[in-house]
Structure 1
Amino acid sequence: MSIKWKSWVPIAVGLALLMSPVPSGLKADAWHYFAVFAAVIAGLVLESMPVGAVGLIGLTVAALSGWVEKDPNKALRWALSGFSESTVWLIVGAFIFAIGYRKSGIGRRIALLLVRALGRKTVGLGYAVLLADLVLAPATPSNTARSGGTIYPIVSNIPKIYGSEPGPTAGRIGTYVMWTAFAATAVTSSLFLTALAPNVAGLAIAKKTVGVDVAWGQWFIGFLPLGLLLIATVPLLAYVVCRPEIKASPEIADWASKELTSIGPMSRNEIVMAALVLLAMFLWITGSNPSIALPVLGANYINPTMVVLVVISLLLLSRVIEFADIVAEKSAWEVFFYFTSLLTLASGLNDVGFIKWLAESFAKNLGAISPAMATIMLVTLFFWIHYGFSSITSHAAAVLPVVLAVGSGIPGVDVQTLAQLCLYSLGLMGVISPFATGPAPMYFGSGYIEKRDFWKFGLMFGLLYFAGLVVVVFPWLAMIR
């Protein structure tokens, strides 16, 4: 009975919106398209069907409707456009990296080393995961590459050591470790200008739109009070929220030490895998930054996804993994269909004009309130409207110019402060949903975090991060200006 109920609710949501009057100033096609998008989100939250199926059905309905593209051929191309997005393949590549970590044995070795060093207390593992991301963040401008390609394959091995597997035993420790890793990368993505590619893109938009520029050090200092606070507390907060069953396990550290002794020195495949991971990190750090990139194959810029394809090819050539392993990686292909559909559907909201209408409708009456409250309201809009996006870059491109333009027209609003608050939110907002940022679908599809819990945790941490922007960063920026 519950399955039937869950299946009908998304349809009811969509039909209710379709039959509702079209809001003033919005085209009918945009409102009808939003109805389909809302139905898809309802289906994802309620888990009425496998997430990939929900997204694919919603995408098909949207393409058939002609609300985005009237021409059937153009509509088909629009529906398939997400399958060529580099971020989608970067996520799939990160899953394939995890195969290499698993098959070579190096993932287990690194996990055992972490457990031996910090595994006596569960919360210690949380801090180890966060610090690993923090160390990589300043020089890795793709959080998908950093968290998805480097951190995730390692931390996914840690719960297994404690007998925590996806499913019924996930709550022993796996849910905590995985959520901490995901929540941590949202913080590090905002702490450093170079920790997230959309940070740089957003800054370029701010400079072009309202003439605001922020240096690397200025960015870091502006976010530092909240960054330090979150670095100190995120593992503890995740510990309270996730409530791992294993609180402490002194004997597991001794066991890990014995296991490391028993598995002996690194094997040939471990060495190859380690070398290829270091190559990937080197290329992500240097090749993803045109200002410091090294010429490779005649080019001075290497897309992070191209790095993944290069390393996967080398993994296949070196026989660390087999092509059959890639085909059999069910979770990768589930995420592929799910995230591709959501990426396209979310971009469609902007294509049909819904996002611009929503932003302008929200902001048009802000001139009557105080500058401080207007700033908070605009940042609120910018942060929480991300539920309608699966790409932080597209969010920044679509909404940031509108918010900054509105803010610059309100007497008394400090546009520099408004711009910095919006830019800092780009990394933090990645925590709110299973499609909010590149690494999200990996942790969502890991099996360690129940899908409804992911939405719940995302809202809780999103509220926390947003409150930090308003309560900590806003007055701090006013003080140091």
Structure 2
Amino acid sequence: MALLSSPAEPTSNRKLVLFIAALAAYGLILILPTPADLSSSGQVALGLLILAVILWVSECVSPAASAIVLTGAAVIGLIGKPLTGNARPMTSADALTTMLTGFSSSAVLLVAGALFLAVALKLTGLDRRVALLVMSKIGVSPARLTVGAMIVGFVLALFIPSATARVGAIIPIMVGVVTALGLPVTSSLGATLMIVTAQACSIFNMAVKTGAAQNLISLGFMEEAFGRSVTWGEWFITALPFTVSMCIVLFIVSLVLLRPQVPPTEEANSRLAAELATLGPVTPPEKRLMLVAALLLALWATEGWINPLDTATSTQLGIALLLMPRIGVMTWAQAEKHIPWGTVVLFAVGISLGMLLSRTGAASWLAGITLNNLGISAMPVFLVIGVLSTFSIVLHLGFASATGLASTLIPIMIAFAQTIPHGEQVAFGIVMIQSLVVSFGFILPTNAPQNMLCYATGAFTTGQFAKVGLAVTVAGLLLLVLFSATIWPMMGLL
């Protein structure tokens, strides 16, 4: 009884106030006069956008809970309103169906399948084996260890779509390396490896189509708007020059600004060798997983070229193999316990919200009163991309979820890009580049979950992270403008 009667924590009270404020903001948008060039359903969509931003930025409810709140609020707001100009007024069932459209997207199926692949890596221990092998072979100088951290991040990005899961697997390895050298985690080396682990994760989110959920949610909107998609190989090749350049920038910036020091010792090599030895020989489940992973990489890389399967279909086939008796490496009962189903639900509702913004005309209206009024549509394409990227980066400072940012930002970018006088191919390229910028969570630890995981180790301060992150962000912005004026037009993107 004492527990039940205890007063709520101040944090809970604050979250309640923020939640009520979010609902009040949504209600206020609904009761305001509808602008002449905006539909009533579009006004509801804008209200939902405000509600989503407040919920995601304040984190007053969990991401999964925010998806449920948004769905309920949408149904209440859309009842009696036509989805488009000539449509009949919606019933509650119609409104609910509209908010469930995201669940039919193949991107949702791909995210769920990729999460199963991440679980398979974790259950078999293959992720840890790969990380230890790379770090034991690379060497123990500051430069080599920094490169090693990047290589581990890239290899895991090929198979694990969750930045949080990837970094969670890497952190124990980095801590082990630092302590094996007789250094505290808070040393310059510890700070460097942890910051590089987090920042490289964001870079590789951009490099690999299946590396992050925000890529897939952006592609879902692009398919809806432009009627075309991007294969795994096309995405990788397009992003490759930029992400390689960003890795070089991160390598130089981290070594110059943080100046990691390593004592002359062979302890690290022996420690890593000992940890590898504890893993034992490669197990049969690991071998089977490696075969399936190699098959998936081959299918992804040849999508639309040699094989007719899209990324979502090939991924589902791979997961089916991993769940089969004797052939697979896990059962459904084992896998489902480790899948963050709330992420899948949030992802689907985020797609639904973006589609609602687009179908009701709310995204076009918002783009018209913001981006179009800046007069940037008449600028050269590379300057347009520079301005849009700056806008996205500043907006990201208030977001802890790149998925939420993509759901908010990409429909607006699509609506704007379709108004500029450079043709549909250029519009498509602009939106794809902005889908890369969504992963620019470099400046604050709160800008991405993987940043917070690394920050929780206590290895670095917010100031150290921001110092490196600002330099990487500025360099990244300049590279975006440079490549938009040179390499990407030559590749046919713009």
TM-score normalised according to structure 1 size: 0.68
1:240–1:5 CA distance, 2 compared to 1 (3 A)? farther
1:469 pairs with 2:480: yes
Q: Which residue of 2 aligns with 1:15?
A: 24
Q: Which residue of 2 aligns with 1:407?
A: 421
1:36 pairs with 2:45: no
Matching residue's letter, 1:3: S
1:431 Cα offset (Å): 0.3
Q: Which residue of 2 aligns with 1:431?
A: 439
Confirm or deny: 8 A CA contact 2:124 2:329 kept in the other structure: yes
Q: Among 98, 101, 105, which residue is 1:85 paired with?
A: 105
SS at match of 1:407: coil
Matching residue's letter, 2:246: L
1:110 pairs with 2:97: no
Confirm or deny: 8 A CA contact 2:64 2:346 kept in the other structure: yes
Q: Which of 337-346 and 108-117 deviates more?
A: 337-346
1:231 pairs with 2:247: yes
Confirm or deny: 8 A CA contact 2:42 2:360 kept in the other structure: yes
Using the alignment, how far apart are the partners of 1:83 and 1:203 within structure 2? 15
Matching residue's letter, 2:383: I
1:84–1:128 CA distance, 2 compared to 1 (3 A)? farther
Confirm or deny: 8 A CA contact 2:108 2:347 kept in the other structure: yes
Q: Which of 59-68 and 374-383 deviates more?
A: 374-383
Confirm or deny: 8 A CA contact 1:383 1:429 kept in the other structure: no
1:359 pairs with 2:375: no
> Identity, % of aligned pairs?
18
1:147–1:104 CA distance, 2 compared to 1 (3 A)? closer
Using the alignment, how far apart are the partners of 1:70 and 1:310 within structure 2? 40
Using the alignment, how far apart are the partners of 2:166 and 2:141 within structure 1? 18
Q: Which residue of 1 aligns with 2:453?
A: 448
SS at match of 2:319: helix
1:292 pairs with 2:306: yes
Q: Among 309, 312, 317, which residue is 2:325 paired with?
A: 317
Q: Which residue of 1 aligns with 2:76?
A: 64
Confirm or deny: 8 A CA contact 2:222 2:428 kept in the other structure: no
Confirm or deny: 8 A CA contact 1:64 1:72 kept in the other structure: yes
Q: Which of 385-394 and 117-126 deviates more?
A: 385-394
1:288-344 Cα shifts (integer Å, max 9, x gaps): x22211xxxxxx324434423433443442352122222211x52232223222232
Confirm or deny: 8 A CA contact 2:202 2:439 kept in the other structure: yes
Q: Which residue of 2 aligns with 1:422?
A: 430
Confirm or deny: 8 A CA contact 1:269 1:320 kept in the other structure: yes
Using the alignment, how far apart are the partners of 2:369 and 2:315 within structure 1? 42
1:27 pairs with 2:32: no
1:157 pairs with 2:169: yes
Matching residue's letter, 1:407: P
Confirm or deny: 8 A CA contact 2:147 2:251 kept in the other structure: yes
Q: Which residue of 1 aligns with 2:299?
A: 283
1:406–1:257 CA distance, 2 compared to 1 (3 A)? same
Using the alignment, how far apart are the partners of 1:401 and 1:28 within structure 2? 18
1:372–1:341 CA distance, 2 compared to 1 (3 A)? closer
1:349 pairs with 2:349: no
Which ranges in structure 1 are unaligned for 5 or more consecutive residues? 137-142, 190-194, 209-215, 294-299, 409-414, 435-442
Using the alignment, how far apart are the partners of 2:196 and 2:411 within structure 1? 34
Matching residue's letter, 1:349: L
Q: Among 84, 96, 111, which residue is 2:116 paired with?
A: 96
Q: Which residue of 2 aligns with 1:411?
A: none
Using the alignment, how far apart are the partners of 1:370 and 1:314 within structure 2? 49
Q: Among 1, 14, 23, which residue is 1:5 paired with?
A: 14
Q: Among 46, 56, 64, which residue is 1:52 paired with?
A: 64
**Equivalent residues in 2 for 1:194-213 (5 A)?**
none
SS at match of 1:70: coil
1:346–1:14 CA distance, 2 compared to 1 (3 A)? farther
SS at match of 1:120: coil
SS at match of 2:16: helix
1:2–1:111 CA distance, 2 compared to 1 (3 A)? same
CA root-mean-square deviation: 5.0
Matching residue's letter, 1:321: M
Using the alignment, how far apart are the partners of 2:488 and 2:296 within structure 1? 40
1:235-270 Cα shifts (integer Å, max 9, x gaps): 5557899x89x9758633321112323433212122
Matching residue's letter, 2:306: I
**Equivalent residues in 2 for 1:373-388 (5 A)?**
376-377=383-384, 380-381=387-388, 384=391
Matching residue's letter, 1:29: S
Confirm or deny: 8 A CA contact 1:159 1:174 kept in the other structure: yes
1:22-53 Cα shifts (integer Å, max 9, x gaps): 55632343233322322222222222122211
SS at match of 1:186: helix
1:379 Cα offset (Å): 5.7
Matching residue's letter, 1:91: V
TM-score normalised according to structure 2 size: 0.67
SS at match of 1:265: coil
Matching residue's letter, 2:38: L
Q: Which of 257-266 and 114-123 deviates more?
A: 114-123
1:92 Cα offset (Å): 2.6
Which ranges in structure 2 are unaligned for 5 or more consecutive residues? 1-9, 84-88, 177-184, 210-214, 397-401, 443-447, 457-461
1:87 Cα offset (Å): 2.2
Using the alignment, how far apart are the partners of 1:207 and 1:89 within structure 2? 19
1:390–1:284 CA distance, 2 compared to 1 (3 A)? farther
Q: Which of 197-206 and 44-53 deviates more?
A: 197-206
SS at match of 2:330: coil
1:58–1:401 CA distance, 2 compared to 1 (3 A)? closer
Matching residue's letter, 1:100: A
Using the alignment, how far apart are the partners of 1:51 and 1:247 within structure 2? 40
- Aligned pairs, number: 425
Using the alignment, how far apart are the partners of 1:284 and 1:478 within structure 2? 22
Using the alignment, how far apart are the partners of 1:310 and 1:123 within structure 2? 37
Q: Among 272, 281, 288, which residue is 1:272 paired with?
A: 288
